[in-house]
A and B are shown apart, each in its own frame.
Chain A
Amino acid sequence: MSWRAEFLRNLFIFIYLLLSFTVNALEWPVEKIILTATFGESRQDHFHTGIDLGGGEQTIFPISPGEVVFAYEKRSDYSSLPVALGNFVVLQHQEGIRSIYCHLKDDTLKRSLTEFNLQDPLGTVGDSGHSHGKHLHLSLIDSEMKTIINPLLVLPPLTDRQAPVIRRLFMKGEGDLVDLREGDEIKTGEVHILAEIYDLRGDVSFIWKLAPYKILLYVNGQEVNQVSFNFLQAEEGRLVLSDTRDSYRELYVSDWIYKLGRLDLTPGETHMQVFARDFAGNVSQHEYFFQVKN
Chain B
Amino acid sequence: MQKKKNPGKLPLITFLVLISYFFLFPYPLGTELHLNPVWAKELVAGDFSGESENQPFTWVKTGNFFGYFNLSGDFYYVGRIFFDVALSNFGFVNFAKITENLVFIDNKGRFLFSFESYGYPVLTDQGERILTVNTDLCGIRELNREGELLWQKEFPTPITALSLKEDYLLIGLLEGRFELLDREGLLEFEFTPTGSRIETILGVAQMQGRLAVISGIDRQQLSVFEQKDQSFAPVFSRNLGTDFRREVMIDFSEDGRYLIFEGSNEVSVLDMNNRSSYSLLTSGRLKNFSTANEILITLSEVGGTTIFQISGLPNQLLYSELISTEDVFLRQIDEHLFLAINGHLVRIDVLEG
A binds B: yes
Q: Which residues of A contact B (CB under 8 A)?
A: 43-46, 48-50, 67-72, 77-85, 90, 92, 98, 100, 114, 129-132, 137, 139, 141, 143, 146-148, 232-234, 237-239
Residues in B105-155 with C-beta less than 8 Å from chain A: 118-122, 133-139, 152-155
List of A residues within 8 angstroms of B98 by Cβ: 130, 132
Inter-chain contact B156/A147, CB cutoff 8 Å: yes
Closest to A90 in B: B174
Inter-chain contact A141/B157, CB cutoff 8 Å: yes
Closest to A43 in B: B135
Shortest distance between the CB of B262 and any CB in chain A (Å): 8
Q: How far is the CA of A137 from the CA of B187 in the complex (A)?
A: 30
| Interface-located stretch among B8-16, B159-167, B329-337 | B159-167
Q: How far is the CA of A45 from the CA of B121 in the complex (A)?
A: 15
Interface residues on B, range: 35 or more
Q: How far is the CA of A143 from the CA of B200 in the complex (A)?
A: 10
Inter-chain contact A234/B136, CB cutoff 8 Å: no
Q: How far is the CA of A232 from the CA of B139 in the complex (A)?
A: 13
Question: With A49-B136, A82-B120, A146-B156 in contact, is A69–B198 under 8 Å at CB?
Answer: yes
Inter-chain contact B138/A82, CB cutoff 8 Å: no
Q: How far is the CA of A238 from the CA of B141 in the complex (A)?
A: 11
Q: How far is the CA of A171 from the CA of B146 in the complex (A)?
A: 32
Inter-chain contact B138/A239, CB cutoff 8 Å: yes
Among the interface residues B158, B199, B247, which one has the most CB atoms of the partner chain A within 10 A? B158
How many inter-chain residue pairs (CB < 8 Å) link A and B?
131
Shortest distance between the CB of B4 and any CB in chain A (Å): 77
List of B residues within 8 angstroms of A129 by Cβ: 97, 135
List of A residues within 8 angstroms of B159 by Cβ: 81
B202 in contact (CB, < 8 A)? yes
Which 4 A-B pairs give the minimum distances between C-beta atoms?
Answer: A82-B120, A84-B135, A239-B154, A130-B135
Shortest distance between the CB of A171 and any CB in chain B (Å): 28
Q: How far is the CA of A150 from the CA of B7 in the complex (A)?
A: 97
Inter-chain contact B136/A70, CB cutoff 8 Å: no
List of B residues within 8 angstroms of A80 by Cβ: 161-163, 203-204, 247
The 8 A CB mask of B287-306 against A (1 = contact, 0 = none) is 10000000000000000000
Inter-chain contact B175/A45, CB cutoff 8 Å: no
List of B residues within 8 angstroms of A72 by Cβ: 246-247
List of B residues within 8 angstroms of A143 by Cβ: 157, 174-176, 199
Q: How far is the CA of A44 from the CA of B135 in the complex (A)?
A: 11
Inter-chain contact A69/B174, CB cutoff 8 Å: yes
List of A residues within 8 angstroms of B200 by Cβ: 69-70
Q: How far is the CA of A70 from the CA of B203 in the complex (A)?
A: 12
Question: With A72-B246, A80-B247 in contact, is A148–B138 under 8 Å at CB?
Answer: yes
Within 8 Å by CB of A81, from B136, B162, B287, lies B162
Closest to B134 in A: A46
Inter-chain contact B136/A43, CB cutoff 8 Å: yes
Closest to B181 in A: A237
Inter-chain contact A237/B152, CB cutoff 8 Å: yes
List of B residues within 8 angstroms of A100 by Cβ: 158
Inter-chain contact B153/A237, CB cutoff 8 Å: yes
Q: How far is the CA of A68 from the CA of B217 in the complex (A)?
A: 10
Inter-chain contact A141/B135, CB cutoff 8 Å: no
List of B residues within 8 angstroms of A79 by Cβ: 247
Inter-chain contact B137/A85, CB cutoff 8 Å: yes
Closest to B204 in A: A80
